[in-house]
Chains A and B, each alone.
Chain A
Amino acid sequence: MALKTTTKLLKITQQPLKIVSASYHANVIDHYENPRNVGSLDKLDENVGTGLVGAPACGDVMKLQIKVDDNGKIVDAKFKTFGCGSAIASSSLATEWVKGKTVDQALQLKNTDIAKELSLPPVKLHCSMLAEDAIKAALSDYRIKQKSKEKTDTN
């Protein structure tokens, strides 16, 4: 009798553990375990835009860099993220998506698209927002560099 009750109790306590291990979507785990485009580009290169953003709510930092060719097309993208699985997956996916796009097309990228692709739960939506902010920051850094370059060229 006592044994039966214990086994029942064990069954109950084991249930939540199973749920926890399955909480990340397969796409997140894929990007987390095999992150694409990890690394750095030369931030002094005038064709490289660097975006560095942080999430004060969780203490995550994300660096995203893009390399743009003379036709305004993003030829390379790299990221480095110190944060949770969702933040790493979001930035990994973001670098994959912006590659091959033009600067204007990349600006259209929304955090909701990232969240949808990775099936992020509501508590992790801010990770995808961080990735969007990182892209925007990298693009604006690139534009500022190009403008100052134009100025020096005309002078």
Chain B
Amino acid sequence: MQRFTILPLFHNLLNSLKCDIAKNYHTLQNRLFLQHCKTFFKSYSESALKCWNCGTVRTTDALLCTQCNLLQKPHDTSNYFAVLNVEQTFDIDPKSLTNKYRQLQAVLHPDKYSNKSQAERDISLTYSSLVNNAYNTLQVPLKRAIHLLKLYGVNIDQEVTHPEFLTLIMELNEEVEAAKTPEDLKNLDRKNKTEMEKINSTLSSCFKQQKLRQVKDEIIKMKYYNSIRMRINELLRDRGIVE
């Protein structure tokens, strides 16, 4: 029996899952107990995350295996909040997001794996680019909102926009087109930024209240204002003004 009592991990697992082997723990013969443990451990490890190299069970946010210290594959590739290990919310703190991003890239950037095995190099390459995509998406409010909405199961595809709103956007675009001086453009840019900030705060409160329909409408509005912003920036760049 002594062989098993020195394995506290076993005890924890057995106790926490209230497995019936644990109930009969003391009454069982050694051999029988071993057999039970084997099947139990097998089923447990199949459902858990394992190191691709040595098979050691790992946690979802661990980048390196605790046993063999090799780089692990990303656990969830579709959820960018999970990829960067940040809270899944629209009101994200940009500073802590950047910190998380840098921490991750400090470990998994391909430059650090040039002398490692092909398998690890491949993981580093895909993982690192996944983290880049996640960061670039979550950093921009519009992209973050679209991603978060997608995680709720709502996609933005062919939606019909209100005619009144389209007329307004058309007028705004015409104003940009008619702008003569860089000052005119800058004024329009400022006006446009205020509009986008308004949408941002509406998005924030709508996400909190889970008003997904309204979130969708606001995201679509944001798309149009964003394309106006890009047009103004392009015109300013053409005139050699970069801020």
Q: Mark A45-58, 1 if CB is under 8 A from B, else 0.
A: 00000001110111
Select from chain A the residue with minimum beta-carbon distance to B216: A56
**A53 contacts which chain B residues (CB < 8 A)?**
166
B157 in contact (CB, < 8 A): yes
A97 in contact (CB, < 8 A): no
Chain A nearest CB from B219 CB (Å) reads 8
Q: Mark A15-43, 1 if CB is under 8 A from B, else 0.
A: 00000000000000000000000000000
CB of A52 within 8 A of CB of B166, answer: yes
Q: Which residues of chain A in 50-68 are interfacial with respect to chain B, using CB atoms and an 8 Å cutoff?
A: 52-54, 56-61, 63
A110 in contact (CB, < 8 A): no
CB of B170 within 8 A of CB of A61, answer: yes
A73 in contact (CB, < 8 A): no
**A52 contacts which chain B residues (CB < 8 A)?**
163, 166-167, 170
CB of B170 within 8 A of CB of A56, answer: no
Select from chain A the residue with minimum beta-carbon distance to B223: A59
Select from chain A the residue with minimum beta-carbon distance to B224: A59
Chain A nearest CB from B157 CB (Å) reads 7
In the complex the two chains form, what is the Cα distance from A54 to B159 in whole Å? 9
A80 in contact (CB, < 8 A): yes
**B161 contacts which chain A residues (CB < 8 A)?**
54, 56
B156 in contact (CB, < 8 A): yes
In the complex the two chains form, what is the Cα distance from A153 to B157 in whole Å? 42
Number of A positions contacting B (CB below 8 A): 13
Q: Which residues of chain B in 31-50 are interfacial with respect to chain A, using CB atoms and an 8 Å cutoff?
A: none
In the complex the two chains form, what is the Cα distance from A57 to B220 in whole Å? 8
Q: Mark B158-188, 1 if CB is under 8 A from A, else 0.
A: 1101010011011001100100000000000
**A60 contacts which chain B residues (CB < 8 A)?**
227
**A56 contacts which chain B residues (CB < 8 A)?**
156, 158-159, 161, 220, 223-224
CB of B220 within 8 A of CB of A82, answer: no
Select from chain A the residue with minimum beta-carbon distance to B231: A82
**B223 contacts which chain A residues (CB < 8 A)?**
56-59
CB of A61 within 8 A of CB of B169, answer: yes
**B226 contacts which chain A residues (CB < 8 A)?**
59
Q: Which residues of chain B in 200-235 are interfacial with respect to chain A, using CB atoms and an 8 Å cutoff?
A: 220, 223-228, 231
User: Contacts A54-B166, A54-B169 known; A59 to B159 CB distance under 8 Å?
Assistant: no
Q: Which residues of chain B in 119-157 are interfacial with respect to chain A, using CB atoms and an 8 Å cutoff?
A: 156-157
Chain A nearest CB from B95 CB (Å) reads 29
**B231 contacts which chain A residues (CB < 8 A)?**
82
**B174 contacts which chain A residues (CB < 8 A)?**
80
Out of B157, B163, B167, B227, which one reaches A82, CB within 8 Å? B227
Q: Which residues of chain A in 95-144 are interfacial with respect to chain B, using CB atoms and an 8 Å cutoff?
A: none
Chain B nearest CB from A41 CB (Å) reads 14
For this complex, 26 residue pairs linking A to B, each with C-beta atoms less than 8 Å apart, are: A52-B163, A52-B166, A52-B167, A52-B170, A53-B166, A54-B161, A54-B166, A54-B169, A54-B224, A56-B158, A56-B159, A56-B220, A56-B223, A56-B224, A57-B158, A57-B223, A58-B227, A59-B223, A59-B224, A59-B226, A59-B227, A60-B227, A61-B169, A80-B170, A82-B170, A82-B231
Q: Besides the contacts A52-B170, A58-B223, A61-B170, what 10 more A-B pairs have beta carbons closer than 8 Å?
A: A52-B167, A56-B158, A56-B224, A57-B157, A57-B223, A59-B225, A59-B228, A61-B173, A82-B227, A82-B228
5 tightest Cβ-Cβ pairs between the two chains A and B: A59-B227, A82-B173, A59-B223, A56-B220, A54-B161
